[in-house]
Structure 1
Amino acid sequence: MTFFEELNDENISGVAFKNIHLKKNIISLLCNNGNSTIAELCKELNLSTPKVTNLVAELVNDGLVEDLGKLDSTGGRKPNIYGMISNSVFFIGVDVKYTHLNIGLADLQKNLVNISENVPYQLNNSQESLIELCNAIKKFIKTTGVGKDKILGIGINLSGRINYSTGYSYSFFHFNEEPLTKFLESELGVKAFLENDSRAMAYGEFNAGVVRDERNVLFLNMDYGLGMGIMINSHLYYGKSGFAGEFGHIPLFNNEIICKCGKKGCLETEASGQALLRLFKEKVAQGSSTSLITQQKLKIDDIILDDIIKAVQYDDVLAIELIAQIGEKLGRGIALLINIFNPELVILGGSLAATGEYIRLPILSAINKYSLSLVSSDTQLKFSKLGEKAGVIGACLLVRNRLLNLY
């Protein structure tokens, strides 16, 4: 049985189970520490030379590890050095948005080798939408030219309540008693993992984006809704039930707007992409002028969030005024987070981040107004560096790390 077969065998036990765990440790050391000799691996793992030699030989036979030849040394018998083969296995990350998909393929050394952005897709809580998602993933796999036997896992990001440890989604596609991951695995033929989209974006940004030496970071996903990924001491924070980070559902306002969660007064009802879209259409219906109507000749009902974001970038007065209002309210919510978490860094991500300083300045103003100065003075505010790629990269890394213990 190969390493890949052992990895997906849920009935494996005894010596075989112990060996697969040790192989994961070897892979982890080679990925994190670089190329190593048998002696170096023995020291790190506290195992005998014959044991490590046999395990490495099996990984070489399975095409995961390669013998890089003799190590240069000053005298004595030169030891062989071993390293990982980057293209031996791959991981797929799928970031599901409301109107499109971003799908990427990463190798063992965390390189994003293939990505398809803005794949047309409409997220609905229906069986048809779920099947469409599966078909889009299958199509992407075909375009990569990589065989399924080389794809160790697929990570899929969805908004809302996700319990990654059990594989259940409670906001989308919760149709059956079995976990959603089981359905996805049967459809795709590859081991599947679920993650909340904001947490995956936070993880991607933390590992490959704007984060440098910071260990305590909040990532805000300012999109159609509002989400948050929390990194504490360089680890994702999930909370007791796995649902931590519901930033958009802080009851910050005394209004009668029913949130999608069923409650009233949520931050998301007045400071999100959906709130921006609602306010924009209300203002236009009341007679406010916008280039989307006067120049682009769009009808009110046809305007979508992306149209308003682009209008901000082209200096549309109405769009700029409303994004400033959204930013001020967001800033109040962020001030609350800063007072509670005292983070080193707050990252602004998601589609609304594309409005740049038009949203950042009112956010900063509100933070200065509502947060404790001694706390907020130690908090940086930055935009996401990865943008639309954050969720894809995060999904790939989380699958890679969870399957191979690469933390």
Structure 2
Amino acid sequence: MTFFEELNNDNITGVAYKNINIKKALLAYFANSGNSTIADLCKELALSAPKVNNLLNELIADGLVKDYGKVDSTGGRRPNLYGLLPESAFFIGVDVKQSHINIGISDLQKNMVKLAEHLPYRLSNNQESLDELCKLISTFIEEFNAPKDKILGIGINLSGRINYATGYSYSFFHFHEEPLSKIIESQLGIKVFLENDSRAMAYGEFSSGVVKDEKNVLFLNLDYGLGMGIMLNSQLYYGKSGFAGEFGHMPLFKNEIICHCGKKGCLETEASGWALKRMFKDKITTGSSSILDLKAENIELEDILEAAQNDDTLAIELIAQVGENLGRGIALLINIFNPELVILGGSLAETGEFIRLPIKSAINKYSLSLVNADTQLKISTLKEKAGVTGACLLVRNRLLSLS
């Protein structure tokens, strides 16, 4: 039985189960520290040389680890150096947006080996939309030139309330008694993990983006809706039921606008992509001018953001208004968490200074100066790739118990 078969076998117990966990620890060490000698592995894992040698040979036989030959030595017998074979296993990340999806596949050493961005897709809460999502993922897998059994898992990001531990989605595709992860898994034939889109984007940014040595970070996904990923002491924070980060539903405004959550006055009603789209259409209807005048009925968020980049005055003014409203909410977060860094991600963040400057101004206005003085405000560096990157890394780490 190969390591991958052992990994997915729930009936293994005793010594065999213990050996699986030691193999996971070996892979984790290689993944986090690079190539190593048997002596280093023995010291790190507190195991005997024969034990480590036997398990390494099994991982080599399974094609996961490679003997890279003798290491340079100043004297004595030169030891062999062992490390991961990157192309021995792959992990797929699927980032689901409102009007498209991004799919990527990474290897065992976190290298993104294939990426397909902006595949046309319309997210709707019905069976047809779910079937189309599975079809797009299946086509991507078929076009990837590698044996299917080397793809160990698929991470899928969806907006709304996701319980990653149980695999249930409560905002989209909640049609069956079974967890959504199991429904999709049965169609694709590969283990599936669900994650909230904002949290996956946050993890991508924490692991491979703008975060350096910061340990307490907030990632804000500013898109049609608002979401947040929280890193406390270098760990993702989920909350009791896995729903932490719904900052878009803080009741900050006294208005009669019904939010997508069913309540009134949420931050999202005045400071999101949905809000920007509504505000823009209202302005056009009441006589304001824009380069988008002729298509007012069919205006999408992407059109407004593109218009701002083309110096459309109305688009720029309304983005600034949304930024001011967002800044009020972010000021509250800073007062509560006192983070080292706040990262702005999502489509609204890609307008750059158009959104960042009014947010910064509102933060200075509404948060405690002593608290915000130590908080940096940065734009995501991974941008559209943040979600795919995070999804690939999360599924890799969960399957192999890596960090």
What range is the shorter-chain TM-score in?
A: over 0.9
Moved over 4 A (4+): none
Matched-pair identity in %: 73
1:4-403 to 2 correspondence within 5 Å?
4-293=4-293, 297-298=294-295, 300-403=296-399
Q: SS of the residue aligned with 2:115?
A: strand
Distance in 2 between the 1:30 and 1:358 partners?
A: 43
Q: Which moved more, 1:90-99 or 1:35-44?
A: 35-44
Distance in 2 between the 1:197 and 1:116 partners?
A: 17
Distance in 2 between the 1:291 and 1:322 partners?
A: 14
Q: SS of the residue aligned with 2:271?
A: coil
Distance in 2 between the 1:135 and 1:341 partners?
A: 41
| Unaligned residue ranges in structure 1 (runs of 5+) | none
How well do the aligned residues superpose, as a CA RMSD in angstroms?
A: 0.9
Q: 1:292: how far off?
A: 1.0
Distance in 1 between the 2:182 and 2:11 partners?
A: 16
AA matched with 2:86:
S
Q: Which moved more, 1:179-188 or 1:379-388?
A: 179-188
Q: Deviations over 1:132-151 (max 9, x none)?
A: 00110011112221221111
Distance in 2 between the 1:368 and 1:344 partners?
A: 15
Distance in 1 between the 2:127 and 2:289 partners?
A: 40
Distance in 2 between the 1:369 and 1:69 partners?
A: 61
Q: 1:183: how far off?
A: 0.9
AA matched with 2:176:
N
Q: 1:303: how far off?
A: 0.7
AA matched with 2:280:
F
Distance in 2 between the 1:276 and 1:378 partners?
A: 30
Q: Deviations over 1:1-39 (max 9, x none)?
A: 000111111222222211111100000111111111112
Q: Deviations over 1:57-112 (max 9, x none)?
A: 00000000011112222333322211100111011000000100010011111111
Distance in 2 between the 1:344 and 1:227 partners?
A: 19
AA matched with 1:197:
D
| Unaligned residue ranges in structure 2 (runs of 5+) | none
Distance in 1 between the 2:176 and 2:202 partners?
A: 29
Q: SS of the residue aligned with 2:284?
A: helix
Distance in 2 between the 1:375 and 1:311 partners?
A: 36
Distance in 1 between the 2:65 and 2:42 partners?
A: 16
Q: When the two structures are aligned, how many residues end up with a matched partner? A: 403
Distance in 1 between the 2:14 and 2:185 partners?
A: 26
Distance in 2 between the 1:98 and 1:160 partners?
A: 12
Q: Which moved more, 1:43-52 or 1:83-92?
A: 43-52
Q: 1:400: how far off?
A: 0.8
**TM-score, normalised to structure 2's length?**
0.99
